[in-house]
Amino acid sequence: MTSAVSASSAGGDVHLQAPGDLTFSAGITANTVNGRVSLTSTTGSVVQAALRIITGAELLANAAVNVDLSTGGHSVGASGFAATATTGYVAFLNNTALNIDTVGGTNGVTAARHPYWLSSGDLTQTRPASLPQARACTVRLHRLDRVRCAEPDHR
């Protein structure tokens, strides 16, 4: 089951949840000073349709499979970014400063497979990236104007 959604709350928070894949097909906007965007898929993935941008002070993304927010440059996370991908990966592209922190009780980023963050602004990691000890994983934090990734597929 896939739920295609869009939402806007310039004066507050945006919370979206789906029982299967959560795919947003339009931009999502929360208050840029203190607003939180929360995206949750209880049995599937959180997926961004091409070039659909998330804007807000904080972003929390939780999925049973993957969190893939890598096809457009978002403007979130200066106050905090946190994500969990229980059996998959976390991929995220941001156009502003990114602070990996605690958001809504979720600490940092937890993924079963390779997490990947890109940011054109400053990167701050105040909470850990948690990966299973039995798997060989690489955590990549890149600032777009200083580091380029040569890998064709980051997952």
Residue-wise pLDDT tens digits, 72-83: 788 887 788 999
Q: How confident is the model at residue 12 (pLDDT cuts 50, 70, 90)?
A: confident
Other beta carbons within 10 Å of 16: 18
* pLDDT score recorded for residue 152: 36
Q: Extract the runs of DSSP E, i.e. beta strands, from 10-150.
A: 14-18, 21-30, 36-41, 46-48, 54-55, 58-63, 67-74, 80-85, 90-94, 98-100, 102-103, 106-107, 109-111, 116-119, 123-125, 129-130, 140-143
In the chain, the N- to C-terminal Cα span, in Å, equals 23
* pLDDT score recorded for residue 60: 96
* pLDDT score recorded for residue 83: 92
pTM of the complete model beyond 0.85: no
CA–CA separation, 24 and 2 (whole Å): 10
Residue 88 has pLDDT above 90, yes or no: yes
